[in-house]
Amino acid sequence: MYINKPMGRYDGMCLASQLMYAWRAMNDGQSNTWSETDHRLVLAPMEGVMDSIMRDLLTAMGGYDRCVTEFVRISQTTLPSRVFHRLCPELHTGGRTPAGVPVFVQLLGSDPALMAKNARVAVNLGAQGIDLNFGCPAKTVNKSHGGAVLLKTPETLRSVCAAVRDAVPPQVPVTAKIRLGFDDDSQFPVIVKAALAGGISELTIHARTRRQAYRPPAHWSLLAEATDIAGTEGVPIIANGELWSPGDVLRCRRVSGCRDFMLARGALCRPDLGRAVRAALSGRVATGANEAALNWSDILPLLRTYLHRNAAAYEPRYACNPLKQWLVYLQYHYPQAGALFAKVKRLRDFNAMDRALVAEHEPLHTAA
Ligand SMILES: Cc1cc2nc3c(=O)[nH]c(=O)nc-3n(C[C@H](O)[C@H](O)[C@H](O)COP(=O)(O)O)c2cc1C
């Protein structure tokens, strides 16, 4: 299997790429000559977590250049505009978050013509770009020919990309998100080439196979092969997987040669990760050092805002679960989140939850 093969960073690359990576490696960890604009950061699509409320909170912190919606499942029909508006309320405001960050609408499906029709609807509603999901590992989704299962049939994947590319105006970016493969990564270069042949403008790669699901590690070094292939066509590769800290992103940059990164679970665990990564990439903080993270007392008002916005957007009784879900992510960076989760995990009432957040904040506030 490709993943188990010990692979030197420079194996199979053309000379120009080797020189480019050597130059980057020299600069990484020494004088940092990268400028902030050399890199882009994308906030990942995450079904059930990264909705417009979370996108708003996280992009308001700074650092992100783009977001992607949770996937819109395309199976039998051209969906009505209300479905797109539900998953991407930002379509009402020019397809951008309140902080002005563009939001791409992600589509998941395998029928090229149907995907094309739905892409056109999303773009007519104001989507800033279309992203195509070829990475979802869910069995139910894969059984109905959606998500990562298309990695097994690169020709279909190419047809979907090409049909969507043809359907929307040339100035609207069409991007794709893949994994290294389905069962293993033996077809990885073929999959990358198929996506590029479909005319996409950028390719995000979650550096694991579908079989590897979300288990660490992510195989960043394999992305170097994709940057090599895509580099000749000028298509950026966006690295994704296990990017939890600024240091992870710097290491990923070194081994993959990627300049653009997508942050997923890490962005939920540490709400200011985007701007911390941005600072590290630009050399504003010592290479590899973590810019001081927000304190727990800074996180609590965010939690309260999140609760209130969920209550306003949905019914108040549905506002508690998203908050509990976020606490579970946050505890990886903030042990206080784990303690708070233990206190509130049985609460279902909005007012009771709100009081618990206020009670958590008060002693910190008084002490300050
Ligand atoms: C709860 C959850 C929901 C996700 N939903 C989507 C999705 O809708 N579309 C997509 O392309 N990827 C989705 N992903 C995958 C992430 O975008 C990302 O590729 C993955 O989490 C790897 O990055 P990480 O290791 O930094 O978390 C999801 C991941 C998680 C954990």
Residue-wise pLDDT tens digits, 17-45: 333 333 333 333 333 344 556 899 999 99
Give the pLDDT score at 362.
Answer: 78
41 in Cβ contact with 260 (< 8 Å): yes
Cβ of 58 less than 6 Å from ligand 1: no
| SS3 label, residue 228 | helix
Give the pLDDT score at 16.
Answer: 36
| Domain locations in the chain as residue ranges | 2-282, 296-367
Q: Which atom of ligand 1 is nearest to the CA of 206?
A: 19
Please check whether the domain covering 2-282 is classified as CATH 3.20.20.70: yes
The Cα–Cα gap between 273 and 269 comes to 8
**Residue among 42, 47, 141 to mutate when testing ligand 1 (max atoms within 8 A of CB):** 47
| 14 classed as catalytic | no
Length of the chain counted residue by residue = 368
Cβ of 133 less than 6 Å from ligand 1: yes
The Cα–Cα gap between 258 and 37 comes to 14
pLDDT > 80? residue 285 = no
Backbone angles phi and psi of 10, in degrees to 5: -100, -5
Give the list of residues 6+ apart from residue 325 with CB closer than 8 angstroms, or none. Answer: 48, 49
Cβ of 70 less than 6 Å from ligand 1: yes
Cβ of 112 less than 6 Å from ligand 1: no
Determine the topology of domain 296-367 in CATH: Bacteriocin As-48; Chain A (1.20.225)
Dump pLDDT digits (tens) for 150-159.
999 999 999 9
**Separation of CA 31 and ligand 1 centre (Å):** 33
**Separation of CA 71 and ligand 1 centre (Å):** 10
Domains 2-282 and 296-367 share a fold: no
Dump pLDDT digits (tens) for 82-93.
999 999 999 999
What mean pLDDT is predicted for residues 138-156?
97
**Separation of CA 264 and ligand 1 centre (Å):** 6
The Cα–Cα gap between 23 and 15 comes to 12
Q: Using CA atoms in the order 330, 361, 275, 28, what is the torsion angle rounded to 10 degrees?
A: -60
**Separation of CA 186 and ligand 1 centre (Å):** 22
pLDDT > 60? residue 14 = no
